[in-house]
Amino acid sequence: MWRVFGYGLSERKGPERYPTMNRLEQFCKNVQHMQSHAMLAGAGKARWRCGAGFSPSRAWLSIAGVGSLLLIVTGPAFVFAGAFRVFDHSASGTAQGGAFVAQADDPSALYFNPAGMTQLSGVQTSAGTLLLGGGTRFTSPSGSTTSGDFGGAVAYPLPSNFYVTANLNGIGLSVLKNFSAGVGVISPFGVLYEYPNNGPFATAVTKQAVPLIDIKPTLAYRLNDQLSVGLGADIYTFASFLGEGQVVTRFNSSGGPGLPPPGTPMEINGSDTAAGFNVSLLYTPLRNGEGRPLVNVGLVYRTQATLHLDGKFLANGVPVSDASTTLVLPQIFTGGIAVWPIRNAAHEWKLELDIDYTGWKSVRNLDVHLSTGATIPFPQDWRSAYTLMVGTEYRWLTPGALPHWEVAVRGGYWHSQTPIPDRSFLPTIPDSDQHAVSVGLGLLCKTNGWFFGIVPCGTTGGPSFLHKAIGLDVAYQAIFYEPRTVTGNQNPVAIPGVVNGTYQTVLHVGSINLRVNF
């Protein structure tokens, strides 16, 4: 066996030993041609060599270099919390540590539990965003340090969410009176993270960006007073108006065999569109005398979705090769129970416990396919993981000082496991077991009220297109990652051992949503 950046390629004998020889020679000559035209400016006197300097073993190393570089970007390395999942999709949910699958009583139900849309009246909308801050402190075994963050005080572009739901009976479609419909746009996976260009592991990664969005057309149906179900699509794609508009990873060449001279800026990019679906259930076994739930049970299942990421490998901004790989987004099971010890005309107090299972074991390996025709294996061996979420909300329905408002205070906690082994750890996923604590406030201005004394919140009667209420939800969350010491990392293109070391990460999440009910 030949060992290529830590991975084996089967050796062949005789004429079959190098089955892609002609393609590899042409690939190398193309790179040499670009160099001769100064297209790799700044590379110095050292050059990739063909002709007398070309050998089959060097060619295989070139394939491994290009292919493994693609894996860094198109592999699962685009996260800010919970591997490459983002848990925060509304301020009301974030404030409760994500424990919202059984409550699901605002437009963000479209994400947390679509069956909960049947609890909403009329047309309701919500739009919000996340302010992500904090960072990672890395210390190598030799004592060198560096720090990574979102590229500034907050990540930009801002991960955002938008929801619109409609009770079809409430908009005049009485024949569909038990149906609710909605559409949402969220950022379920991916965020921006970067490190200095002169950092200790710059040959592994300096920056990553993945502006993946999920478009969610959804239907819900109320079977009876106790049971509702939901069904929706998840359309995962990239948008050109959001950041890079594709997966992007940047790093510096290590100058290893088959790679450009040390320090040459490198980039891999790629994109695709994939589809999955979700099914959901909301069961209400107990209500109070006014018909409001006292106990809710929520269940949601989200299917896998397969992204065939096609992109290019660039050196100093010049395309060198086409490359692609396949990434399977995991299936997810979420269940929760909510109870209201207090629920009357004046006050409501809810407690909720949710458990989330993410099937990260689907990320077992990533086979990279190059335009040369070669395929390189890249094992990942991720583990499936659980997240435990606990949340509470206390709501005043008719506070004396604000007779036309509802006021809610919220709090929450989650604990999440990391699925990523040391072997395939990448610094732009500073992932480890983590703990998050959160607090938040919700304000809903109703009929005859004034939103901060400026905008009327709604009136009784009038056309259906006039709003009936305006709400504002805000939340703050701190995510504390347990210190993680990485050993035995096998990054395929970096200088060996540079990723090994201790990572300490604390992230801060600010969330805000504006709601308008019609």
pLDDT for the residue 156: 65
pLDDT surpassing 80 at residue 37: no
The two three-digit tokens of residue 320, written as one number: 């060198």
pLDDT for the residue 453: 79
Structural contact between residues 389 and 339, judged by C-beta atoms closer than 8 angstroms: no
pLDDT for the residue 124: 96
CA 70 vs. chain centroid, Å, equals 19
**Domains present along the chain, CATH in parentheses:** 2-517 (2.40.160.60)
Helix 21-36, helix 56-74: angle, nearest 10: 80
Q: What percent of the chain has pLDDT over 70?
A: 80
User: Which residue, chain included where needed, has tokens 């583990």?
Assistant: 383
pLDDT for the residue 413: 98
pLDDT surpassing 80 at residue 71: no
pLDDT surpassing 80 at residue 56: no
CA 137 vs. chain centroid, Å, equals 22
Average pLDDT, the chain: 82
| Of 9-23, 172-186, 279-293, 378-392, minimum mean pLDDT range | 9-23
Confidence of residue 189 (pLDDT cuts 50, 70, 90): confident
pLDDT for the residue 29: 46
Neighbours of 113 (CB within 10 A): 31
Helix (H) or strand (E) holding 26: helix 21-36
Helix (H) or strand (E) holding 326: strand 318-329
pLDDT for the residue 454: 83
The DSSP symbol for 114 reads G
Q: Cis peptide before 157, with omega less than 30 degrees from 0?
A: yes
Structural contact between residues 410 and 392, judged by C-beta atoms closer than 8 angstroms: yes
* Chain segment 232-282, per-residue pLDDT in tens: 999 999 887 766 788 888 899 988 776 789 999 988 888 999 999 999 999
Mean pLDDT of 357-365: 91
pLDDT surpassing 80 at residue 390: yes
Confidence of residue 44 (pLDDT cuts 50, 70, 90): very low
* Residues in a beta bridge with 385: 358
Mean pLDDT of 356-360: 95
pLDDT for the residue 489: 92
The two three-digit tokens of residue 466, written as one number: 């006039």
Mean pLDDT of 329-355: 97
Mean pLDDT of 455-472: 80
pLDDT for the residue 511: 95
Mean pLDDT of 119-136: 93
pLDDT for the residue 455: 86
CA distances, 324 to each of 67, 305, 387 (Å): 8, 16, 31
The two three-digit tokens of residue 79, written as one number: 């996260």
Mean pLDDT of 176-186: 95
pLDDT for the residue 359: 95
pLDDT surpassing 50 at residue 78: no
Which one has a higher pLDDT value, 39 or 510?
Answer: 510
pTM, to two decimals:
0.82
pLDDT surpassing 80 at residue 459: no
Highest mean pLDDT (candidates 5-9, 10-14, 214-218, 374-378): 214-218
Which one has a higher pLDDT value, 22 or 465?
Answer: 465
CA 74 vs. chain centroid, Å, equals 13
pLDDT for the residue 82: 64
| Of 227-236, 271-280, 449-458, minimum mean pLDDT range | 449-458
What is the rounded distance in angstroms from the CA atom of residue 515 to the CA atom of residue 284? 25
CA angle 495/75/189 to nearest 5° reads 130
pLDDT surpassing 60 at residue 195: yes
Is 354 in a helix, a strand, or coil? strand
Instruction: Write the CB contacts of 480 (distance below 8 Å, at least 6 apart in sequence).
Output: 434, 435, 436, 437, 506
* Residues in a beta bridge with 308: 326
pLDDT surpassing 60 at residue 11: no
| Of 73-82, 290-299, 329-338, 351-360, minimum mean pLDDT range | 73-82
What is the rounded distance in angstroms from the CA atom of residue 156 to the CA atom of residue 192? 7
Confidence of residue 433 (pLDDT cuts 50, 70, 90): very high
Highest mean pLDDT (candidates 171-175, 200-204, 280-284): 280-284
Instruction: Write the CB contacts of 432 (distance below 8 Å, at least 6 apart in sequence).
Output: 418, 481, 482, 483, 484, 503, 505
| Phi, psi at 35, each rounded to 5° | -65, -40
User: Which residue, chain included where needed, has tokens 């009327």?
Assistant: 456
Mean pLDDT of 87-98: 96
pLDDT surpassing 90 at residue 210: no
Q: What percent of the chain has pLDDT over 90?
A: 56
pLDDT for the residue 461: 64
